[in-house]
Each structure stands twice: as C-alpha cells, then as structure tokens.
Amino acid sequence: MKKKVISVLAAAAMATSMFATPVLADGDVKAGVVWYNFADTFIANARQCLNGIAAADGTISITDADSENDINTQGNNVNNFYTQGVKYLILNNINMPASDDIAKQMKEEGVVGIFANTTSPSDDAFADNENLWYVSSVSTQSGENMGNALVDYFNTHENWDRNGNGKVDYILLQGIQTFSDTINRSSYSLATIEGAGYELGSCIGGDDVTGVKGGDSINGVLCNFSRSEAQENVEALIASFGDDIDCIIADNDDEALGAIAALQAHGYFTNDENTIPVVGVDATAAGCEAIKNGTLLETSLNNPVKLAKSIYKLMYLLENGEEVTTESIGMDGVKVDGHRIMIDYISITADNLDDANYDITDTSF
C-alpha cells in the first residue's frame, strides 16, 4: 500500500472508512477486533464465526478491522479503536517484537487486551496487567504433527529418498518470520523428523540445519502464509532442485496448496513414483479436499470456530463477573492456564477427515 503524508485527522478518518467494519449487535459493550489479514482463509473463517456469535448474542458489539499484513496499518487500527473507546481490544498481532509494548499501551488506555492467534506477550507483561489475556492454539503440536506424518510416510515408502543421499532434503515454506507459530511449526516438525532417526539434508531455498530443537529459529522460504507466494517460490525451486526435493513442509494450508499447484504444473502427482509429500496446517476446506484427492499428506486442524468461541466466551464471562476457567470456557480441547487460553490441534489425514468438520455459522458458545 503506497504511503502518503496526511494529517492525523485524515488518517483516522481513512482508517475508519477503509478498515473498520461494524457487526450488528445490540450490546452497549464495545469490542474492537484487529485481524492481521482478512484475505487469510483461517482468519476469514474465524472472523465470520466471531461476528456471527456477537450478532446473535447481542451482549457485546464488535467492530473489526483489517491490517492487510502491514504493521503500520495495524497501528492505525489499534489507535482508532482507542479513540472509539472500546472496552475490549482483540489483537491478531503481527508486530511480535513489540508485543509487550503493545500490552503496556493497552493497560495505559484502560482496555481489556486480548492477544489472539499470535505470539504471546511475556510473563512479565501479564504480571504487570491484570486485564491482559491470550487466546491461541498450541503451535508446537502442529509442528510435531507435520513431522510425525512425514516420518510415517518415509517409513512406508522405500522410494522417499529421491536423490539417494540418505538424507531428508526439504523445502520449508514459512509464514511471518517473527511469529511464534512460524518458529514452532518449522522447528518442531524438523526436530520430530530428526528424533525419529532421519538425518536432515538440504533446506532447499533456505539455511541447512542439524540438531534442531523445538523453538529454534530457522530460515526457510518466507511466503507470509500466502498461496501465490508459495507457488511462485516452489516453481522456481523445482526448476533448479526438482530431483532433490523429498518433502515440502508448509506453515499453513494456503502455502501447501501453492506448493501443490507448482508441483502439479511440473507433472507431479500422476502416480506414486512422482509424488512428493506435502504437509500443512489449518485443515481448511481446500486443504481437506487436497487430502481427499491425495495431494496433501497431512494438515493440523487449527479450529477457527473454537478460536472465535473462546474469544467471545472470554469477554462474556468477564462481562458477567464470572471466573475464567477450563470448565467455564467449556469446550473440548480448550484449556485455561492463568490468563492464557490454549486450543489443541488435531492431526488430519485421509484416515480421519471427518474430524476436520466445523461450522463457522454456529453461534452457540
């Protein structure tokens, strides 16, 4: 988006007109939701579900805004909600290094801050702000799921080593570089592969690593969770390293689908001999369809409905003066640890596709 020098008042007006989207609800309590990118499939599903719950319940009035994967736009959106006087500010933060500073600003502005589906603020930030909350999935699980699926594939396919070097040569498609989900999905998947006794070879398009531990920062191919960026990058890598690619690890299903499209354009997936295993995260409808047709090996259900319901249920409990516990949240696979609400992933393969079903129009909570 082109930057222009404009007055503060004009910027605020532009932020309101371009990014803020009101959701019809009768409640006097205002909540502002800042999503990192409306175009992201997972975010679009979570957004629709959260807005539907708010409209149906009517306790809390929600307005949401799109940061368009831009830190400056996110800052404008956040400041706009402060100006509007919201009680709750839900932030799908992309400025991860500034998480604690943002949490401090939330305290100064007197809002209940909820970091959602992003990197958690530090323990010190929580100790300093009794009105700070965190709602997200356990990202380490998604990395382990991808790694385990690939290990199972290698164990059952003698021809997995396409260049015969005895090592796993892979493409690692990453999301936002400083996002904890990116770090954990990348590192835990590779650590799981190594832990099963397989030696890592080339990180094609990135930096080679060995002895990976969960939480290590690894440089793969940055695709920003984008299908088109993944497709473009994988097409270029196939042209140079096509005979060396043993698997593709993608930080979300959109990236995985971009990789699959690139592979198909080069004649892959016509039979078992020219199939390259691809794994992703989110269990989107398109991702599950790819599992069904045999082009995606595994994905992890990052349930957008549970994310939306957990966010709304948290606000609802706080509004009613009720304690926020695992029991009061009341959802399978959702646990409360202090002011952190954590949602479990579920590994999805061709054997359990039905487990990936969810209804984003469900307004119960």
- SS3 state at 97: helix
Does residue 351 form part of some domain? no
> Most distant CA pair in the chain: distance in Å?
65
**Would you state the pLDDT for residue 27?**
62
Q: How many residues does the chain have?
A: 365
| Same domain for 194 and 101 | no
Q: What is the bridge-based pairing of β-strands 88-91 and 346-348?
A: unpaired
Whether 245 shows a pLDDT value over 50: the answer reads yes
Does residue 339 form part of some domain? yes
Q: Mean of the pLDDT values across residues 80-98?
A: 97
CATH code of the domain covering residue 102:
3.40.50.2300
Residue 22 Cα distances to 26, 52, 361, angstroms: 12, 12, 18
| Same domain for 194 and 332 | no
- SS3 state at 62: strand
**Would you state the pLDDT for residue 176?**
86
Does residue 349 form part of some domain? no
| Same domain for 257 and 238 | yes
User: HSE (CB half, 13 Å, CA atoms) of 78?
Assistant: 25
Instruction: For residue 302, give the nearest of 39, 40, 90, 97 by alpha carbon.
Output: 40
Residue 272 or 42, more confident: 42
| Same domain for 290 and 168 | yes
| Same domain for 309 and 272 | no
| Same domain for 121 and 15 | yes
Q: Mean of the pLDDT values across residues 302-319?
A: 98
Both tokens of 84, joined, read 């509007």
| Same domain for 115 and 38 | yes
CA dihedral 97, 227, 358, 150 (to 10 degrees): -90
Domain that holds residue 18: 8-137+303-344
Does residue 3 form part of some domain? no
* Residue 167 CB neighbours (<10 A): 17
Does residue 295 form part of some domain? yes
Whether 328 shows a pLDDT value over 60: the answer reads yes
| Same domain for 261 and 151 | yes
Q: Mean of the pLDDT values across residues 305-317?
A: 99
Within 8 A by CB and 6+ apart from 24, the residues are 55
Q: Mean of the pLDDT values across residues 115-128?
A: 97
Q: Mean of the pLDDT values across residues 56-76?
A: 97
Indicate the helix (H) or strand (E) that contains 33. Answer: strand 29-35
**Would you state the pLDDT for residue 14?**
38
Mean pLDDT for the chain?
Answer: 93
**Would you state the pLDDT for residue 58?**
96
Does residue 32 form part of some domain? yes
Residue 323 Cα distances to 23, 216, 320, angstroms: 27, 36, 9
Which string of DSSP letters, residue by residue, matches 101-120?
Answer: HHHHHHHHHT-EEEEESSPP
| Same domain for 98 and 77 | yes
Whether 208 shows a pLDDT value over 90: the answer reads yes
**Would you state the pLDDT for residue 179?**
86
Whether 26 shows a pLDDT value over 80: the answer reads no
Does residue 253 form part of some domain? yes
Residue 302 Cα distances to 76, 144, 252, 264, angstroms: 28, 14, 10, 26
Q: How far apart are CA 245 and CA 105, in angstroms?
A: 46
Q: Which of 18-32, 132-146, 204-218 has the lowest mean pLDDT?
A: 18-32
pLDDT in tens, 294-303: 999 999 998 9
| Same domain for 240 and 94 | no
**Would you state the pLDDT for residue 177?**
80
Total domains, the chain: 2
Last residue of a domain, one of 301, 330, 356: 301
| Same domain for 257 and 117 | no
Q: Please list the residues that pair with 22 across neighbouring strands.
A: 63
Q: Which of 7-21, 195-209, 222-236 has the lowest mean pLDDT?
A: 7-21
pLDDT in tens, 92-118: 999 999 999 999 999 999 999 999 999
Q: How confident is the model at residue 16 (pLDDT cuts 50, 70, 90)?
A: very low
Residue 174 Cα distances to 22, 179, 181, 221, 250, angstroms: 32, 10, 10, 6, 6
Q: How confident is the model at residue 187 (pLDDT cuts 50, 70, 90)?
A: very high
Q: Which of 5-19, 196-210, 221-235, 289-303 has the lowest mean pLDDT?
A: 5-19
**Would you state the pLDDT for residue 17?**
35
Residue 143 or 27, more confident: 143
* Residue 199 CB neighbours (<10 A): 11
Does residue 361 form part of some domain? no
| Same domain for 309 and 269 | no
**Would you state the pLDDT for residue 20?**
58
